[in-house]
Protein backbone atom coordinates (compact mmCIF):
# COMPACT_ATOMS: atom_id res chain seq x y z
CA UNK A 1 0.00 0.00 0.00
CA UNK A 2 2.86 2.41 0.81
CA UNK A 3 4.46 1.69 -2.57
CA UNK A 4 1.12 2.27 -4.30
CA UNK A 5 0.59 5.63 -2.56
CA UNK A 6 4.15 6.69 -3.39
CA UNK A 7 3.70 5.86 -7.10
CA UNK A 8 0.33 7.62 -7.08
CA UNK A 9 1.89 10.76 -5.57
CA UNK A 10 4.71 10.78 -8.14
CA UNK A 11 2.19 10.41 -10.98
CA UNK A 12 0.12 13.34 -9.72
CA UNK A 13 3.26 15.44 -9.36
CA UNK A 14 4.30 14.69 -12.95
CA UNK A 15 0.82 15.44 -14.29
CA UNK A 16 0.74 18.69 -12.32
CA UNK A 17 4.14 19.71 -13.70
CA UNK A 18 2.97 18.84 -17.21
CA UNK A 19 -0.14 20.97 -16.75
CA UNK A 20 1.79 24.11 -15.84
CA UNK A 21 4.29 23.47 -18.65
CA UNK A 22 1.40 23.21 -21.09
CA UNK A 23 -0.10 26.46 -19.79
CA UNK A 24 3.24 28.26 -20.17
CA UNK A 25 3.59 26.89 -23.69
CA UNK A 26 0.12 28.07 -24.63
CA UNK A 27 0.81 31.55 -23.26
CA UNK A 28 4.14 31.66 -25.08
CA UNK A 29 2.60 30.63 -28.40
CA UNK A 30 -0.20 33.10 -27.99
CA UNK A 31 2.30 35.84 -27.31
CA UNK A 32 4.46 35.00 -30.33
CA UNK A 33 1.60 34.46 -32.77
CA UNK A 34 -0.59 37.18 -31.31
CA UNK A 35 -3.63 34.87 -31.31
CA UNK A 36 -6.81 36.79 -30.43
CA UNK A 37 -8.30 35.96 -27.07
CA UNK A 38 -11.56 34.78 -28.62
CA UNK A 39 -9.94 32.40 -31.10
CA UNK A 40 -11.70 28.98 -31.01
CA UNK A 41 -8.48 27.01 -30.74
CA UNK A 42 -7.23 29.11 -27.84
CA UNK A 43 -10.57 28.82 -26.07
CA UNK A 44 -10.53 25.05 -26.48
CA UNK A 45 -7.00 24.83 -25.10
CA UNK A 46 -7.92 26.92 -22.08
CA UNK A 47 -10.94 24.71 -21.38
CA UNK A 48 -8.74 21.63 -21.62
CA UNK A 49 -6.31 23.12 -19.09
CA UNK A 50 -9.17 23.91 -16.69
CA UNK A 51 -10.51 20.36 -16.97
CA UNK A 52 -7.01 19.00 -16.39
CA UNK A 53 -6.66 21.11 -13.26
CA UNK A 54 -9.98 19.77 -11.91
CA UNK A 55 -8.83 16.20 -12.53
CA UNK A 56 -5.66 16.85 -10.55
CA UNK A 57 -7.61 18.23 -7.61
CA UNK A 58 -9.84 15.14 -7.64
CA UNK A 59 -6.77 12.89 -7.69
CA UNK A 60 -5.23 14.79 -4.77
CA UNK A 61 -8.42 14.30 -2.75
CA UNK A 62 -8.52 10.59 -3.61
CA UNK A 63 -4.93 10.23 -2.44
CA UNK A 64 -5.72 12.00 0.84
CA UNK A 65 -8.75 9.76 1.36
CA UNK A 66 -6.58 6.68 0.78
CA UNK A 67 -4.04 7.89 3.33
CA UNK A 68 -6.76 8.44 5.92
CA UNK A 69 -8.42 5.10 5.21
CA UNK A 70 -5.20 3.17 5.76
CA UNK A 71 -3.81 5.29 8.58
CA UNK A 72 -2.97 3.65 11.91
CA UNK A 73 -5.05 5.13 14.73
CA UNK A 74 -4.60 3.96 18.32
CA UNK A 75 -4.35 5.59 21.74
CA UNK A 76 -3.87 4.63 25.37
CA UNK A 77 -4.17 7.03 28.31
CA UNK A 78 -4.61 6.68 32.06
CA UNK A 79 -5.03 8.77 35.21
CA UNK A 80 -1.85 9.60 37.10
CA UNK A 81 -3.73 9.93 40.43
CA UNK A 82 -7.02 9.01 42.09
CA UNK A 83 -9.99 10.90 40.63
CA UNK A 84 -11.91 12.72 43.38
CA UNK A 85 -14.36 14.78 41.29
CA UNK A 86 -17.40 12.55 41.67
CA UNK A 87 -20.46 14.24 40.18
CA UNK A 88 -23.07 13.25 37.62
CA UNK A 89 -21.91 13.55 34.00
CA UNK A 90 -18.48 14.82 35.00
CA UNK A 91 -16.23 14.07 32.03
CA UNK A 92 -13.16 12.04 32.95
CA UNK A 93 -9.68 13.15 31.89
CA UNK A 94 -6.90 10.61 31.48
CA UNK A 95 -3.87 12.86 31.70
CA UNK A 96 -1.00 10.44 31.02
CA UNK A 97 -0.74 9.46 27.35
CA UNK A 98 1.37 6.41 26.49
CA UNK A 99 0.22 6.12 22.87
CA UNK A 100 -1.53 8.50 20.49
CA UNK A 101 -1.09 7.38 16.88
CA UNK A 102 -3.16 9.66 14.69
CA UNK A 103 -3.31 12.35 17.42
CA UNK A 104 -6.99 11.71 18.03
CA UNK A 105 -6.88 11.80 21.84
CA UNK A 106 -6.77 15.14 23.68
CA UNK A 107 -5.18 14.77 27.12
CA UNK A 108 -6.38 18.24 28.15
CA UNK A 109 -10.09 17.37 28.00
CA UNK A 110 -10.17 13.55 27.82
CA UNK A 111 -11.93 13.49 24.44
CA UNK A 112 -11.08 11.37 21.41
CA UNK A 113 -11.86 12.76 17.94
CA UNK A 114 -11.78 10.24 15.09
CA UNK A 115 -9.09 11.29 12.56
CA UNK A 116 -10.77 9.14 9.90
CA UNK A 117 -13.91 7.11 9.36
CA UNK A 118 -13.92 3.41 10.22
CA UNK A 119 -14.58 0.73 12.82
CA UNK A 120 -13.03 1.40 16.24
CA UNK A 121 -12.86 -0.56 19.49
CA UNK A 122 -12.70 1.26 22.85
CA UNK A 123 -11.62 -0.08 26.24
CA UNK A 124 -12.56 1.69 29.47
CA UNK A 125 -11.07 0.35 32.72
CA UNK A 126 -12.12 1.83 36.06
CA UNK A 127 -11.11 1.08 39.65
CA UNK A 128 -12.91 1.79 42.95
CA UNK A 129 -11.74 1.28 46.55
CA UNK A 130 -12.60 2.07 50.15
CA UNK A 131 -16.42 2.33 50.05
CA UNK A 132 -16.43 4.23 46.77
CA UNK A 133 -18.32 3.47 43.55
CA UNK A 134 -19.07 4.99 40.17
CA UNK A 135 -20.84 4.03 36.96
CA UNK A 136 -18.82 5.09 33.92
CA UNK A 137 -20.53 5.90 30.64
CA UNK A 138 -18.91 5.79 27.21
CA UNK A 139 -20.46 8.59 25.14
CA UNK A 140 -20.30 9.20 21.39
CA UNK A 141 -22.11 11.99 19.56
CA UNK A 142 -24.30 12.64 22.59
CA UNK A 143 -25.38 8.98 22.96
CA UNK A 144 -24.46 6.59 25.76
CA UNK A 145 -22.85 3.62 24.02
CA UNK A 146 -21.81 1.52 27.03
CA UNK A 147 -21.79 1.58 30.85
CA UNK A 148 -19.56 -0.07 33.45
CA UNK A 149 -19.87 0.10 37.24
CA UNK A 150 -16.94 -0.10 39.60
CA UNK A 151 -18.73 -0.91 42.86
CA UNK A 152 -17.03 -0.93 46.26
CA UNK A 153 -19.89 0.96 47.88
CA UNK A 154 -20.57 -1.51 50.70
CA UNK A 155 -17.07 -2.74 51.49
CA UNK A 156 -13.49 -1.59 51.76
CA UNK A 157 -12.22 -3.95 49.11
CA UNK A 158 -11.03 -3.06 45.60
CA UNK A 159 -13.25 -3.35 42.49
CA UNK A 160 -12.10 -3.13 38.88
CA UNK A 161 -14.36 -3.08 35.81
CA UNK A 162 -13.61 -2.99 32.06
CA UNK A 163 -15.92 -2.42 29.10
CA UNK A 164 -15.09 -3.19 25.47
CA UNK A 165 -17.14 -1.35 22.86
CA UNK A 166 -16.95 -1.46 19.04
CA UNK A 167 -18.15 1.74 17.35
CA UNK A 168 -18.54 2.70 13.70
CA UNK A 169 -17.34 6.31 13.54
CA UNK A 170 -17.22 9.03 10.95
CA UNK A 171 -14.29 11.41 10.70
CA UNK A 172 -14.69 14.08 13.37
CA UNK A 173 -16.93 12.03 15.68
CA UNK A 174 -16.11 12.51 19.37
CA UNK A 175 -15.91 9.80 22.05
CA UNK A 176 -15.34 10.31 25.78
CA UNK A 177 -16.19 8.89 29.21
CA UNK A 178 -18.14 10.45 32.06
CA UNK A 179 -19.59 9.55 35.44
CA UNK A 180 -23.10 8.16 35.13
CA UNK A 181 -26.13 8.03 37.40
CA UNK A 182 -24.54 5.99 40.19
CA UNK A 183 -21.59 7.33 42.18
CA UNK A 184 -20.48 7.94 45.74
CA UNK A 185 -17.68 7.65 48.27
CA UNK A 186 -14.24 9.17 48.03
CA UNK A 187 -12.68 8.58 44.61
CA UNK A 188 -12.05 6.51 41.49
CA UNK A 189 -8.78 4.70 42.07
CA UNK A 190 -5.72 5.06 39.84
CA UNK A 191 -2.29 4.62 41.40
CA UNK A 192 0.58 2.16 41.75
CA UNK A 193 -1.87 -0.71 42.37
CA UNK A 194 -4.29 -0.28 39.44
CA UNK A 195 -4.73 2.13 36.54
CA UNK A 196 -7.98 3.69 35.46
CA UNK A 197 -7.56 4.01 31.71
CA UNK A 198 -9.16 4.84 28.36
CA UNK A 199 -7.93 3.39 25.06
CA UNK A 200 -9.04 2.77 21.52
CA UNK A 201 -7.88 1.41 18.19
CA UNK A 202 -9.12 1.62 14.61
CA UNK A 203 -9.45 -1.90 13.22
CA UNK A 204 -10.96 -1.22 9.80
pLDDT digits (tens, 9 = 90+) for 147-175: 999 999 988 889 999 999 999 999 999 99
Query: What is the DSSP annotation of 51-109?
Result: HHHHHHHHHHHHHHHHHHHT---EEEEE-SS-B----TTPBP---EEEEEETS-EETTT
What does the pLDDT read at residue 126? Answer: 98
**Residues 120-141: what's their mean pLDDT?**
96
Tell me: pLDDT of 2 over 80: no
pLDDT digits (tens, 9 = 90+) for 58-106: 666 656 655 556 679 999 999 999 999 999 999 999 999 999 999 999 9
Nearest to 110 by CA among 60, 156, 44, 176: 176
Helix (H) or strand (E) holding 202: strand 197-202
pTM, rounded to two decimals: 0.69
Which domains can be identified in the chain, with CATH numbers?
Answer: 70-202 (2.60.120.40)
Amino acid sequence: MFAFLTCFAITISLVWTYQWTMEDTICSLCSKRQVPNGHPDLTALREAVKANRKDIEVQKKEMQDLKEKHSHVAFFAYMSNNWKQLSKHKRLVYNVVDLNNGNGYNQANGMFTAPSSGLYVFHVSTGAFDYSHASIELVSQGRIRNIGWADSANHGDRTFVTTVTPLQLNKGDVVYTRIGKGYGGNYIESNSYIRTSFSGVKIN
